[in-house]
Amino acid sequence: MFDKRLLRAVPKTKTFVMKQVMSQWIALLMNIVFTIMICFLFTFLLEKRLEMKHLIYVGMIMIVILSIRAKALKKAILFSFEGANLVKKILRQRLFEKVLSLGNHYHEAVSTSELVQLSVEGINQLETYFALYLPQLFYSVLAPITLFIVISFFDIKSAFILFLCVPLIPLSIICVQKFAKKLLSKYWNSYTTLGDSFLENLQGLTTFKIYQSDGFKQRQMYQEAQNFRKVTMRVLIMQLNSISIMDIVAYGGAGLGSYMGISHYMNESISLFGALLIILLSFEFFIPLRQLGSFFHIAMNGMAASDKIFKILDIENKHQGKEMLKQDLLNIEFSHLSFQYDKRPILKDISFKIQAGQFIGIVGESGSGKSTIAKLVMGNYQHYDGSLLIQNQERYDIADTSFLKRVMYITHEPMIFKGTLRDNLDFYHQYRDEELYLALKKVSLNQYFKQLEGLDTLILEAGSNLSGGQRQRINLARALLADSEIYIFDEATSQIDVESEENIIAIIKELARTKTIIMITHRLSTVTDCDEILVMQKGQLIERGKHQKLMLENGVYQKLFYQQKELEAYQG
Ligand SMILES: Nc1ncnc2c1ncn2[C@@H]1O[C@H](COP(=O)(O)OP(=O)(O)OP(=O)(O)O)[C@@H](O)[C@H]1O
């Protein structure tokens, strides 16, 4: 009935649960005393023995009892709130740390939308598990035992019968649990699938509109939404049915208790006071378990989410390199390196060396493995054969923190955030305005932004108020400010206007005088000045050398170069 792993995941929560149970128990004791006082008053009233002094004493005791009860309940709510907050904080932190440890390739293990749904709604649902269900579970054991002891002083038979009925509720919960677990797992799958499609369809809405397939996508999503609705309804039906069974047990049991109290009074085996107490307390007997049943269904939903959360937490971490790089310049050496994605060979026996300060071009047909080379250098993948050395140390042994602050990876998808231009250029607000303007000048954007609000110009989400070229130039200005040792440009000039492309290529060539540059590109005309060009084909390094040398070789590079020249002349 409770998930040990969840408890182990947040051990500190035990204290809050225990404190909450104790507060609820104190409230129950006060309830019992309150009921005894009521029974006392009624008995005296019915037996015509009630006097003013009784009313005053009982009234005073009741005020004290009610104030203690209110305080205990307030404390219980407070502990529940604090415990829930702790659980949410710790679980979200653990998920966040997990994603960080998986690195920038976390989405290969878990989709972003699933992660968002689990860390927001999934963990919220777990709040009910820790704050309501778990304390109620312990309280539901403690409360009937306490009531059993109290009632047994007046009528041991009734106490036993009531006590025997109590396990019927947990039994019905256990019966439902197995079925509910499967159903809730389906519910979460359907929920995250819908979330994935929603996010993807929203992002691709313009593309669907252009291809006039938005109607088709809408129908697909409608179907997924219908599936989600159906499974939600099945969950609700299951919950309602199970609550109805628990109600029958609870009210049936309380009715039985009342009947026992009355019949034992009628055959004079108990006093009027005892009979009244049994009738009133027999309802108390079942309330905690009945409430447990209601919490159980919401908690089950949280438990289903927790299965998914643990699945993410269980993903094997990337090997964390610990070696720190020396201050010396960084050389990169691939030696007989082979790499596979899902057993599909992508790079085959690659060997080359990049000396610090060199300008290297990597070219080749689409899908030949160029970006994979860059990603291996960035440490995104570690399961390669052969070796990849940086300063003569294996890449996977090097601490990312030590390497990544000395290398910059610029792709054709610049990440631009909502905020000011300054926020986008300078995340930590560490540069002076002159430095920021100098970087903007290098990418020919200073005049443009000066006409607007300068560094305070507001940039919309994903840079939607900028052109593709402007976005990439801001990205480049940010990279220039970082003043890294190695710059990797991966198709950084594709998908932008000619003016921006020329500007960026000129900057890269200027940068190549002082930095190590790896330029991955389709456009061979941009790598003619390189110290070495690596030509890739189907995962193999088939040609290498300077432009002039490769042009004399009558190979793939030369062929590609002339093909592109011809195409450019035709377009021009
Ligand atoms: N995450 C991935 N999982 C599985 N296969 C992948 C993954 N990323 C890339 N690939 C495959 O690896 C091969 C090499 O991809 P890579 O991106 O390195 O090629 P590329 O030469 O940079 O291509 P392009 O010039 O089109 O960018 C491709 O066949 C691609 O389908």
Same-domain status, 151 and 212:
yes
Q: Whose CA is nearest to atom 30 of ligand 1?
A: 367
Whether the CB of 375 sits within 6 Å of ligand 1? no
Same-domain status, 366 and 308:
no
In the chain, how many domains are there?
2
Same-domain status, 562 and 507:
yes
How far apart (Å, rounded) are the C-alpha atoms in residues 16 and 20?
6
Helix, strand, or coil (residue 64): helix
Same-domain status, 120 and 206:
yes
Please indicate, yes or no, if residue 54 is contained in any of the structural domains.
no
Radius of gyration, CA atoms only, the chain: 35
Residue 290's H or E segment, with its range, is helix 272-313
Type of residue at 392: N
CATH code of the domain containing 114 = 1.20.1560.10
Please indicate, yes or no, if residue 60 is contained in any of the structural domains.
no
How far apart (Å, rounded) are the C-alpha atoms in residues 124 and 127?
5
Those residues with Cβ within 8 angstroms of residue 232's Cβ, 6 or more apart along the chain or in another chain: 187
Please indicate, yes or no, if residue 38 is contained in any of the structural domains.
no
Same-domain status, 293 and 408:
no
Q: Whose CA is nearest to atom 12 of ligand 1?
A: 346
Q: Are 7 and 14 in contact (CB under 8 A)?
A: yes
What spacing in Å lies between the alpha carbon of 328 and ligand 1's midpoint?
A: 32
Q: What is the dihedral of CA 402, 403, 406, 410, to 10 degrees?
A: -140
Same-domain status, 241 and 390:
no
Please indicate, yes or no, if residue 2 is contained in any of the structural domains.
no
Please indicate, yes or no, if residue 7 is contained in any of the structural domains.
no
What spacing in Å lies between the alpha carbon of 410 and ligand 1's midpoint?
A: 17
How far apart (Å, rounded) are the C-alpha atoms in residues 97 and 470?
34
CATH code of the domain containing 524 = 3.40.50.300
Kindly give the confidence (pLDDT) of every residue in the chain, 572 residues in length, as a single tens digit, with 9 standing for 90 and above: 667 777 788 888 889 999 999 999 999 999 999 999 999 998 888 888 888 888 899 899 999 999 999 999 999 999 988 988 888 899 899 999 888 888 766 777 788 888 888 888 888 888 888 888 889 989 988 999 999 999 998 888 888 888 888 888 778 777 777 778 888 888 888 988 898 889 889 888 888 888 888 889 999 999 999 999 999 999 888 888 888 888 888 888 888 888 888 898 888 888 888 899 998 888 888 888 888 888 887 777 777 788 888 888 888 877 778 888 888 889 999 999 999 988 899 999 999 999 999 999 999 988 999 999 999 999 888 889 999 999 999 998 998 888 998 999 999 889 999 999 999 999 888 999 999 999 999 999 999 999 999 999 999 988 999 998 899 999 999 999 999 999 999 998 877 777 888 888 999 999 999 999 999 998 898 999 999 999 999 999 999 999 999 999 989 999 999 988 888 777 65
Question: 108, 340, 348, 371: which to mutate for ligand 1, most atoms within 8 A of CB?
Answer: 371
How far apart (Å, rounded) are the C-alpha atoms in residues 280 and 273?
11
Same-domain status, 220 and 367:
no
Q: Are 32 and 146 in contact (CB under 8 A)?
A: yes
- To the nearest 5 percent, what fractions of the chain are helix, strand and coil? 65, 10, 20
Those residues with Cβ within 8 angstroms of residue 77's Cβ, 6 or more apart along the chain or in another chain: none
Same-domain status, 109 and 172:
yes
Same-domain status, 87 and 139:
yes
Q: Whose CA is nearest to atom 23 of ligand 1?
A: 367
Same-domain status, 306 and 356:
no
Please indicate, yes or no, if residue 564 is contained in any of the structural domains.
yes
Residue 374 CA, closest ligand 1 atom number:
18
How far apart (Å, rounded) are the C-alpha atoms in residues 151 and 157?
9
Question: 338, 342, 346, 520: which to mutate for ligand 1, most atoms within 8 A of CB?
Answer: 346
Same-domain status, 308 and 362:
no
Question: 337, 340, 341: which to mutate for ligand 1, most atoms within 8 A of CB?
Answer: 341
Please indicate, yes or no, if residue 459 is contained in any of the structural domains.
no
Please indicate, yes or no, if residue 260 is contained in any of the structural domains.
yes
Question: Domain limits at 126?
Answer: 83-313
Q: Are 518 and 488 in contact (CB under 8 A)?
A: yes
- Rounded to 10 deg, the angle between the 498-511 and 468-482 helix axes is 10
Same-domain status, 303 and 336:
no
300-337 residues labelled b (16+ CB within 10 A) or e (exposed)? bbbbbbbbbbeebeeeeebeebebebeeeebbbbbeeb
Q: What is the ipTM of this complex?
A: 0.96
Whether the CB of 59 sits within 6 Å of ligand 1? no
